[in-house]
Amino acid sequence: MKAAIFLPSPDLRCSLLLLITWIFTPVTAEIASLDSGNIDEILNNADVALVNFYADWCRFSQMLHPIFEEASNVIKEEYPNKNQVVFARVDCDQHSEIAQRYRISKYPTLKLFRNGMMMKREYRGQRSVTAIADYIRQQKSDPIQEVHDLEEIKFLDRSKRTIVGYFEQKDSDNYRTFERVANILHDDCVFFSAFGSVSKPERFSGDNIIYKPPGEHAPDMVYLGSLTNFDLAYAWTQDKCVPLVREITFENGEELTEEGLPFLILFHMKEDTVSLDVFQNEVARQLISEKGTINFLHADCDKFRHPLLHIQKTPADCPVIAIDSFRHMYVFPDFKDLSIPNKLKQFVLDLHSGKLHREFHHGPDPTDVAPGQHIQDVASSPPESSFQKLAPSEYRYTLLRDRDEL
């Protein structure tokens, strides 16, 4: 018999019901318990694996256990081959080296793996049997749409990033590489394929892959690497599908904040694509070396009115550029200043050096003041972070940074 677990009153009834069901219902689920000795073998041999990183003392982990097991039972009936879909779990207290390897910062964390490769996006949906089962079904669906007439290509939605593969036959190493790439990046791009006589007019030099950027008149780009080299094909496709400047929404805000990098954000009206193009070009020109130290984002002014008000702006002031460091928010002086060489880059460098924070508290740095000019100490407090509120919630996860011993 498992030990009784006492929970705070708001969760008591539903939590006890789940726990009682888990304790007294015979367990038929095949949940693989991962450790340092078997994790690579199990994950590498699984087409799709959903791994629950948990801790026994975490009440959210306790509540998820019976749901996770029942979802596994449902999926096993649909995908009986043990390597098609694997449900697995890691006790992070017992295997802290695995938790560190995958940078687990909260419990429970559900991560998706494909043939041993961890996907960037973890499962953040509803914790119910139906939702988890539907998520796995979606992951098992074919991410590539087959084209039966090249005329269909002319009517693609050019607002989306699109990858089209032209192959002589489906049963080929070239297509299998394309399929692996599509399985990983299908949330970022739309994938199409054509075969045989349909694709022949586009195969004048053999099988090939084309990237069609957003925009009716944007020119196509051709993949020139080996079609059987997964690493090359994946790197090229990821570069095309995952933009340097990403859009932040309420749906992906938790994921972006958990990456832990400060935000450089352009707030713009949805229809204002000109400002977005200018910002994207300047980020690519001035800040490519800062990739990995800050996230480049753009946000809809109407949807993110609250962060704008936080920095004393409204949608009428857009376009507005700001940095959210997750402690404070700092406003770029004027969008028109983007045309000043290295002005945007200096703004980011001033964040990293601490200059932005110092100036908010003490006024301009002495080095920025002209000789003989009086320096007045200006005490002020920068607005607190607004986007930090989109981070994982303590009402849904046990956050490890809140535990003193961790």
For residue range 341-376, list pLDDT tens digits in order.
999 999 999 999 999 888 766 666 655 545 555 545
85/83 Cα distance (integer angstroms) = 6
In a domain, 39, yes or no: yes
Identity of residue 320: V
- The predicted-structure confidence for 279-332, as pLDDT tens digits, reads as follows 999 999 999 999 889 999 999 999 999 999 989 999 999 999 999 998 899 999
Give the pLDDT confidence score for residue 27 in this predicted structure: 46
29/74 Cα distance (integer angstroms) = 9
Same domain, 157 and 131: no
Same domain, 115 and 186: no
In a domain, 204, yes or no: yes
61/56 Cα distance (integer angstroms) = 7
Same domain, 256 and 388: yes
Give the pLDDT confidence score for residue 342 in this predicted structure: 93
Residue 354's φ and ψ, nearest 5 degrees, are 90, 0
Same domain, 340 and 275: yes
Q: Give the residue numbers spanning the domain of 262.
A: 246-363+380-396
Whose structure tokens read 């003041």? 369
Same domain, 279 and 315: yes
Task: List the beta bridge partners of residue 110.
Answer: 52, 123
Same domain, 250 and 387: yes
CATH number of the domain that residue 83 is part of: 3.40.30.10
383 neighbors 329 (Cβ within 8 angstroms): yes
Same domain, 250 and 392: yes
Give the pLDDT confidence score for residue 37 in this predicted structure: 96
Give the pLDDT confidence score for residue 364 in this predicted structure: 64
Q: Please state the domain count of the chain.
A: 3
Give the pLDDT confidence score for residue 291 in this predicted structure: 87
In a domain, 369, yes or no: no
Q: Please indicate, yes or no, whether the overall pTM of this predicted structure exceeds 0.85.
A: no
Same domain, 183 and 288: no
Same domain, 262 and 359: yes
Structure tokens at 124: 């953040």
311 neighbors 322 (Cβ within 8 angstroms): yes
Q: Helix, strand or coil for residue 380?
A: coil
Identity of residue 260: G
Task: List the beta bridge partners of residue 54.
Answer: 91
273/305 Cα distance (integer angstroms) = 19
Measure CA 210 to chain center.
Answer: 24
**What H or E segment, with its residue span, contains residue 26?**
none
In a domain, 374, yes or no: no
Q: Flag residues of the chain having pLDDT under 70.
A: 1-29, 360-382, 401-406
Same domain, 286 and 196: no
